[in-house]
Structure formats: structure tokens, C-alpha cells
Amino acid sequence: MSPTAKTVEPSPSSPEEKAPAKEAPKKKKAPKKKKEPKEPKKKDPSRRDKALAAVDSARKDMDGLGDIKLANDTYTPSVMYRLPTGVLSLDIALRGGIPSCSITEFVGMESSGKTYLANLTAYMQQCIYGKKCNIFVGSTEGNYDKGFGRMAGLIIPYSIKEIELTQRNLKRLDKPALTKEEIAELKKELGLFIDVEAESGEAFFDGILDLLHSDAFNIGIVDSIGNIDTADELDKKLSKAKKVGEIALLVRRLVGRATGILRASENMSTMIFINQYRFKIGTQAKSDTGLLSHSGGKSLEHAKRLSIFFRNGKKYKPKDATRPTHKDVHWQVLKGKGGVHEGISGTFRFDFSFGIDVWRDTLEQASRQGVIDSAGGGNYSYDSAIRDELFKWKGQDTVLEFLRDPDNGDIMWEIRDRCYEEAGINAEYERTLGS
């Protein structure tokens, strides 16, 4: 019999033989969140930004009545442009003349040349601008003296009535009547010359402010502040006038408004205020301005850009003369801005027959600067570029005779320009007299 088959139990498989275990599915990584851009940190405004913002805010608050500008958007015409007075030594000291777009005060003792110098300054504007020159004068001391203005060179037309009156006076004095040529000379005009007249200070100053607002005038002159009454004073009896401080308040309002108008002038308009110093009661000083007083209180003190004080000096009488022929006038800057400082001073000669001796002053200043050669022994020489000629003179009187000749006016201007150049002063202007 065949052996009985044994049922063999399957032996447990070894670990190597076990079926591979299913791997657990890998977890999917969550997508990375996109980083949102960080907001930049707000920086505190700089001091400059704060300042500019304040400028914009302030400009809006001014509501068109003013402006605030950066320095590189502005310029100071009172420094850049000057109006020559015609007295060369004074102009050199003032770095070209009185400042434009501002108020200048000529102040001093009675009959010390203040009005003449203001007229001479206006005449220089006529020389420079010709027919384009417009001038106004507000005279509170009576009608404007045209004859005195013409003495300084101003071209001012006489009215028909004035010419007729002159003819009658000549006839009464048994003198020859005016010729046609002389009448034509009296009628001659150059640009506009306006005379401002008014009874009250309010009306007078309103008229001046209206003229300034036009920005059509080169120069305006007020002669003088010391003779103005308010409307309130005019309506009262003398025993009840006047209110203390009324004039000072009126002048303060005028100069405050005038300063703003002049500052914005595109025509370089300029004003000259003529004022008088008087001795304070109980003093006898002749030169110390601390013992003197002037009209208008302190109204002009802060508004004016330049103040020049004038006082009379020695009078000169030749041996064969019955009265003095000329005098010295001493000037001193009491207040100056824009390159001019208080304290500078000088002297010019005032001749009683024709006014300030600008020819003598030019000769003396040009000699000091070496523009006119004064080698000594009374010998003078000048090498003119515009004439292409070397002029030589013997004696001061000979030079003055040459300079006073109207036909040599171009030499006077050339000497002036050279003195400006030697002093480092810009003198860019055209002389258009007669055009």
C-alpha cells in the first residue's frame, strides 16, 4: 500500500515573503500663500515739506492781497537798480543812486538843497528815458516852482497863461519880449509832468496813491510832509485845531500803502519824500540830529529805504562881491539798506546862481578815482573813447568851462560811466534825452 499522504500545513511565511504593504498616499502640500506687498512706512514730513505746505496755506489765506515767494523766484530791484541823483560823488557813495521801488527821504534844514536835488534826480530820469519818462510832484508849499525845476535841467512845459504873464512882466520892466524860439522852448515837454494839488491831506495822499497804482510813473516827489493838514483840521477854527497825532497817522497810512505798491512795481517807480528838520524848543544845535525834530512822527522811519540828511555849511563871498556866491552843503546817510549803510557822508557846492555845481563835483570825483588825470601843477587830461581824443587842460577853471559846455554833455556821461566802472557799479541805462 502506498504510503498514506500526509497533509502538510503551510508554514507561516517569513517576513521576507510577506506581501508588500500598500504605501499610504502622500499628503499634498498646501499651496503657498502669496505675500501681499507691505505698505511703505509713512515718513514724517521733513522741515522743508512743512515749510512749503505752510507757504501754500499762507498764500491762500492772503486772498490775492499779497504773495509769498521762494527766494529764487524773487529779486530786489532796490538793490539791482538805482536812480542817479546827478551828483556823482553822492551817486558813487550810494552805489549808483537812490534805490528804486522804494521810498527815499531827503531831510534837513531849511534851504539846504533838498528840493533842488529831488528835481535833479527827476531830470536824470528824463535824460535816461526821454519821452517815456513820467514824473509827478505833489507840492504842499504852494504851486510847484517850474523855474526852480528848470534850473536843475528839468524840461517842464509852461502854460499859455504863464507865458502871457511873463510877456507882460517883461513889458513892464522895459525888456525885450520873448522870441518865438524862447516861447517854443518854454512850451517844450518830455514825457508827462504832473502836478498834484489838494486842500486836505486825505485828498492829497489819495491822489498820489492813485498815480502810484497806475505803475506808469518813473518817479514821484512829495514836497513836503511838514505842510499838510487833515480835512478835520480844515473844517475847524484854528483855536480848536488840531488833534495831536492826526498827521502822523495819515502819513503812516500813506507810506504803508505806498510801500506795498512800489514793491510790486514793474516800472521801477520810486518816491522821494522831502521833509524838514527843525530845532527842538530850547536847543541851539546846528548839526546834531538828535536835537532836531521833523514832521510825520516816526511814520517814515520804518518805511523808507534810504534817508539822507542835508545841512548848510560855509558860505563864500569873493572880495569884489556884495553877497555870497556859493556855499557848501554837507550830506550824511542816516538810514540805508541794500548795500548802503548809515554814516557815509560828503559835501557838494551849491551856487546861488544855478544850483548844485555838478560839473565841479564830477571833476573832483573823477580826479580822486583817476578817471581824469590830475598830475599836478594844475594840469588835467582825459582820454575820451567816444571822441577818440586826448583832452588836456591847464587849470581847473579851464576844465570846468569845457564840462559846462552843453555840447560836451556826452563827455560828462562818459566820465560818469567810467567812474561807475572803476567803483564796480553797474550802470546799464540808455540816455535818450531829446528823442
| Residues 115 and 212 occupy one common structural domain | yes
Residue 266 lies in a domain: yes
Residue 240 lies in a domain: yes
| Residues 380 and 271 occupy one common structural domain | no
Q: Which segments within 140-233 are labelled E, that is strand?
A: 192-196, 219-223
- Please report how many Cα atoms fall inside a 13 Å half-sphere around the Cα of residue 404, on the Cβ side: 13
Q: Which of 326, 353, 380 is the last residue of a domain?
A: 353
Residue 57 lies in a domain: no
Q: Which of 292, 322, 353 is the last residue of a domain?
A: 353
Residue 94 lies in a domain: yes
Task: Round to the nearest angstrom and report the end-to-end CA distance of the chain.
Answer: 165
Per-residue confidence (pLDDT) for residue 240, from 0 to 100 = 61
Using one digit for the tens of pLDDT, what is the confidence trace for 319-372? 888 999 999 999 999 988 877 888 899 999 999 999 999 999 999 999 999 999
**Cα(284)–Cα(287) distance, rounded to whole angstroms?**
9
| Residues 369 and 386 occupy one common structural domain | yes
**Cα(336)–Cα(44) distance, rounded to whole angstroms?**
43
| Residues 273 and 131 occupy one common structural domain | yes
Q: Which residues, other chains included, contact 345 with Cβ-Cβ below 8 Å and sequence gap of 6+?
A: 330, 331, 332, 333
The region of weakest confidence among 41-50, 300-309, 405-414 is 41-50
The confidence band for 22, taking pLDDT boundaries of 50, 70 and 90, is: low
Q: Which of 353, 386, 402 is the last residue of a domain?
A: 353
Asked if residue 149 has pLDDT above 90, the reply is: yes
Per-residue confidence (pLDDT) for residue 342, from 0 to 100 = 85
Cβ count near 421 (within 10 Å): 13
Asked if residue 387 has pLDDT above 70, the reply is: yes
Using one digit for the tens of pLDDT, what is the confidence trace for 106-136? 999 888 999 999 999 999 999 999 999 999 9
The confidence band for 283, taking pLDDT boundaries of 50, 70 and 90, is: very low
Residue 160 lies in a domain: no
**Cα(98)–Cα(117) distance, rounded to whole angstroms?**
11
Domain with 415 in it:
357-423
Q: What is the mean pLDDT of residues 151-156?
A: 95
Q: Which residues, other chains included, contact 376 with Cβ-Cβ below 8 Å and sequence gap of 6+?
A: none
Tell me, what CATH number does 371's domain have? 3.30.250.10
Tally of domains in the chain: 2
Per-residue confidence (pLDDT) for residue 75, from 0 to 100 = 62
Q: Which three cell numbers stand for residue 34?
A: 502669496
Asked if residue 287 has pLDDT above 50, the reply is: no
Q: Are 379 and 394 in contact (CB under 8 A)?
A: yes
Query: Of the segments 260-274, 338-352, 402-416, which one has the largest average pLDDT value?
Result: 402-416
Q: Which three cell numbers stand for residue 371?
A: 578817471
**Cα(429)–Cα(82) distance, rounded to whole angstroms?**
10
Residue 49 lies in a domain: no
